[in-house]
Structure 1
């Protein structure tokens, strides 16, 4: 079987998700190539698998060019479907997080859904949301394929003491970490303000990642308001440095306002960090999968009481040395994906 995917491998150092998924498929007799329009036109592929299509297609700042790009992609999909290529779409989010032209994105996503032969959701909540948003998907083949782990993809050679030494965190400080791209929906300023309500001098909050917008960066610094316990690193964290932040943590907190699937939660668990997250989207299912010793959820908005209780839970709850992530192994998940590929030809 021959597959072309967008993206397939090129985002490995930004987000290894696709690379990890597709690099396993060769063992199952499946060849996967990176998408390009010319390649798709000149060669025959059994499957065209798309991710985050609306975000990527309509990202051009000029709305007219964004619309032309969208129309061109739909025309390309129509042509290869006529030639027998099956279209698979992975539903990551109801609404793309960053879209320059929402109306064009909504129109394009709706048109794309009308052309898919099957779709993948990453959790049962995602499947429900996808079919509520696009009722025609109820008539399509589908599979729930969870987000896989990142264990082994990032360097992980340091212990907690040396990680904290690198980041200048006191060895005995109780440390909360937020690591990841800082977007409005991730609610980072609220996390900092909530942390500020805790009066323990031996606490440290580390926030590391690139803000989406300059005004968001300003809001983060204003929320910290000179609190010496808050350590801010408002820049891209290279893959080699991820280990220092996550190995220094007693608890990773991800205070999302809205979320369906979270690579940040999976990344933290891949470094065997307990996480505190809202009971939204896939996160309740993640708790059921890996256990309440590793994932603590809360309802409504994060408060200082929830944060304090979460930190006590992280420090005092007995747990194994490693989070149980076997069901999130990429060999298992790529096999489930290939099973759906084959099903669309039956």
Structure 2
């Protein structure tokens, strides 16, 4: 067994209030023999590390202006060349099969290099295994039970539906609002809480609301306390994404004891089987986006299954202690592969 300390560069900077809690919990869960370095371009290009752990490679290529984006793309290419030339390990967590937003031709070329030069993938669900043709380790997304343990819960409001999180085009929030407005039940309400990706998307949501007083909107980043209050006061969380390979938002809602309505996929069906009956209801994806009928049907099925629902969803397979140990094993396997061309088998952490 290799007990030597290993140094891992993560692809995100020093955590801020808006940093994804998944990333913070991951770092906290790693054993002492893994030293974590947070991202900066200086550290990536000149710092000492053996593994570069990348979560969403497209974020490294982003810039607020076209010139900044170009600079970040050139720097990303330089980091990739450093990895290739100096035989460092590139580990990728497969949060998605592909980026959700369109990218320039140059960005797509650099992302293809990320794919080609990945040493090992960490797959959060079986759906992405083998998508890059690289050795992989199946390590599920951890829960949020401990993260929100000290936060005050609110009383559930019957009939309240909630969407929360970063509002991006693929999440189809305007379509959700339009579908809800078409429902005539006066006892239903819809809350939209999150930061829109663009002013145009925010305007589309406001337009879809069409003056319906049952729909309330709070744009902007939600603090942990605000998020817990919103989720626990809802009867159900609705996440009508165009597709769902993995979803931290669904696990967050389940961790706070609220059922979810999500698009039908292999991942969401597996999640429903894992957590137990009555916790995960699937939206029919035969239509390109959520409709009044599919939303009403999913809500009816969820309510009908309430009597089968346990006190809390079963999230035992998503504890962070074992997830941290599994990540440490993945880092070491990746280092062995680049040094000795040793390819680990595809494995799961159960």
Do Structure 1 and Structure 2 share a fold, with TM-score over 0.5? Answer: yes
1:321 aligns with 2:311: yes
Correspondence for 2:345 = none
Correspondence for 1:164 = none
1:192 aligns with 2:177: yes
Q: Distance in 1 between matches of 2:78 and 2:316?
A: 41
Correspondence for 2:277 = 292
Q: Distance in 2 between matches of 1:20 and 1:310?
A: 32
Cα 1:175–1:69 change in 2 (3 A) is: closer
Cα 1:343–1:96 change in 2 (3 A) is: same
Correspondence for 1:23 = 28
1:146 aligns with 2:134: no
Match of 2:118 among 116, 119, 127: 116
Q: Distance in 2 between matches of 1:159 and 1:314?
A: 21
Correspondence for 1:165 = none
Deviation at 1:329, TM superposition (A): 1.6
1:283 aligns with 2:258: no
Deviation at 1:61, TM superposition (A): 2.1
Deviations 1:146-195 (A, max 9, x none): 2211122135322316xxxxxxxxx5x41111111111111111111211
1:157 aligns with 2:157: no
Contact kept? 2:9, 2:44, Cα under 8 Å: yes
Contact kept? 1:11, 1:19, Cα under 8 Å: no
Matches within 5 A, 1:51-200: 51-62=55-66, 65-98=68-101, 101-128=103-130, 131=131, 137-138=132-133, 140-154=134-148, 155-160=150-155, 173-200=158-185
1:257 aligns with 2:242: yes
Contact kept? 1:9, 1:22, Cα under 8 Å: no
Matches within 5 A, 1:198-237: 198-237=183-222
Contact kept? 2:283, 2:295, Cα under 8 Å: no
**Which TM-score applies when normalising by structure 2?**
0.84
Cα 1:9–1:145 change in 2 (3 A) is: farther
Deviation at 1:60, TM superposition (A): 4.7
Q: Distance in 1 between matches of 2:198 and 2:10?
A: 30
Deviation at 1:8, TM superposition (A): 6.3
Deviation at 1:22, TM superposition (A): 1.6
Contact kept? 2:55, 2:93, Cα under 8 Å: yes
Cα 1:40–1:106 change in 2 (3 A) is: closer
Q: Secondary structure at the match of 1:182?
A: coil
Q: Distance in 2 between matches of 1:49 and 1:85?
A: 11
Deviation at 1:36, TM superposition (A): 2.6
| Structure 2, gaps ≥5 residues long | 1-5, 337-341, 343-350
Correspondence for 2:52 = 48
Q: Distance in 2 between matches of 1:321 and 1:229?
A: 29
Deviation at 1:50, TM superposition (A): 1.3
Aligned length: 325
Q: Distance in 1 between matches of 2:50 and 2:300?
A: 52
Cα 1:174–1:17 change in 2 (3 A) is: same
Q: Distance in 2 between matches of 1:221 and 1:70?
A: 35
Contact kept? 2:165, 2:249, Cα under 8 Å: yes
Q: Distance in 2 between matches of 1:299 and 1:336?
A: 35
Q: Distance in 2 between matches of 1:273 and 1:192?
A: 20
The CA RMSD measured in Å over matched residues stands at: 2.3
Higher relative contact order, structure no. (Cα contacts within 8 Å, ≥ 6 residues apart): 2
Deviations 1:201-229 (A, max 9, x none): 11111111121111211111111111121
